[in-house]
Amino acid sequence: MQTELSKQLGVEHPLFGFTPFPAVAAAISRAGGLGVLGAVRYTAPDDLKRDLDWVEAHVEGRPYGLDVVMPAKKVEGVTEADVEAMIPEGHRQFVKDTLAEYGVPELADGEASGWRITGWMEQVARSQLDVAFDYPIKLLANALGSPPADVVRRAHDRGVLVAALAGSARHARKHQQAGIDIVVAQGYEAGGHTGEIGSLVLTPEVVDAVTPLPVLAAGGIGSGRQVAAALTLGAQGVWLGSIWLTTTEAELPSRALVRKLLAAGSGDTVRSRALTGKPARQLRTEWTDAWDDAGGPGTLPMPLQSLLVADAISRIQRYEVEPLLGTPVGQIVGRMNEERSVQAVVDDLTRGFERAVDRVNRIAGRSPQ
C-alpha cells in the first residue's frame, strides 16, 4: 500500500493517524503509518516538549507529525481574560443549573480543570510551534483553515510539509493558493469539527479541485475496504482519528467513556456546537441535548463556548457522570466495538485493503497481483 505521498514521507502505509495521545501517535508510526500528535490541549510549552521528547524516544526513528489549531488571520492583543469577559452571565448560570440537575460535584480545592483548551489562541499556538520546530517532525497539520503565511514559510524552510483540513472544494482551493502541500478532505461523517458534505462526494471533488496536490480522505474511515475506496477516489492516503480512541494505548479520561464508545452505534453521534461553538461531531449525550434544546440559551461562538464549558467538562469527566459524558467521535464509532492495540488496528486496515483490492481485481477479470 504505497502512494507517492507515503514514499515522500518515508512511511510504509499511507495511514495518517491524528491523536491527542503521545503513546498512540508513536505506536501509529511504529506500525508503519504516520502518527500526528494533536497540540491544541498543550497550554504550556514545557508540557508539549515533554511529550515530544517521549514520542521522539518511542517512534524508533520513524516519521511523525504535529497538528495545531491556528487561524489564518492574527488578532493582536487579545488575552484569555479578555475573551472570558465576553461570556454572558446567563450562559454561566445555564451551565451551573445543568450540572446541578445531574448532581455533578465541584472539583476539589486546588484541582485545576484538565480540559481548558486555549491552543486556538494565536500566542499559544505559536509557542507550540517554537517547541515543535526543534524536533524532526515531517508534517505540520492545521485544523482551522490554512495557517498564517509566515508559519507555512517557516515549516517549508525546515523541510516540513504542511497539511490543512477542508470541508469543501472551495476551502481546498484556498489552501492550494496559500501554499499548502497536502489537503485533508474531511467528510461529514468525521469526528470533531466537520462540514456538511459526505466523504464519498467530497474526496473526488477535492482531488479534482487541487490536482496535482496530494489529498488525504477523512471522515468515517475505519476499515481496509474504506481505505481502498479512498485511494480509488484519488486520495493518496487516509486521515484517521476516531478509530484510535478505543485502542489500548489511548488515555481516555475514564473507563465509563470507553464503555460508552464501545457500546455506541453509528447513529449515536450528533453534530453540535456544544463543545467549542463550531459544529463538531461527538457522542450524543444529555449534555449536547441540553445545549441544542430550543429552550436553552444557545451556544456561543468559538472560542467563547469552549472557555465557558471547560470546567464543566472536567467535572463531568472527573466524576464520570455518564448521562453527560461524551467526546468528539465520528460515525465510525459503530465499528469500534472492542479494545485493540494500535498495531492490531493497522494490521486489520492493511489486510482489509488487500482483500478489497483482490475482490476488485476479480470483478475486473484480473488475477490478484
Which helix or strand (DSSP H or E) is residue 281 part of? Answer: strand 280-283
Q: In 3-state terms, what secondary structure has residue 211?
A: coil
What is the number of alpha carbons within 13 Å of residue 111 lying toward its C-beta?
13
Angle between helices 122-132 and 149-157 (to 10 degrees): 0
- The predicted pLDDT at position 306 comes to 86
Tens digit of each residue's pLDDT (9 = 90 or more) over 315-346: 999 999 999 999 999 999 999 999 999 999 99
Please state, as a whole number, how many other Cβ atoms lie within 10 Å of the Cβ of residue 34.
28
As a whole number of angstroms, the distance between CA 98 and CA 291 comes to 10
Of residues 69 and 155, more confidence is placed in 155
As a whole number of angstroms, the distance between CA 168 and CA 171 comes to 5
132 pLDDT above the threshold of 90: yes
How large is the greatest C-alpha to C-alpha distance in the chain, in angstroms?
69
- The predicted pLDDT at position 74 comes to 54
Q: How much is the average pLDDT of 13-17? A: 98
- pTM value is 0.93
- The predicted pLDDT at position 120 comes to 58
Amino acid code (one letter) for 87: I
Angle, CA of 206, 234 and 282, to the nearest 5°? 60
Confidence of residue 123 (pLDDT cuts 50, 70, 90): confident
The C-alpha cell 464549558 sits at 309
Confidence of residue 37 (pLDDT cuts 50, 70, 90): very high
Q: How much is the average pLDDT of 5-26? A: 97
- The predicted pLDDT at position 111 comes to 72
Ranges assigned E (strand) in 72-210: 139-142, 161-166, 182-186, 192-193
- The predicted pLDDT at position 70 comes to 78
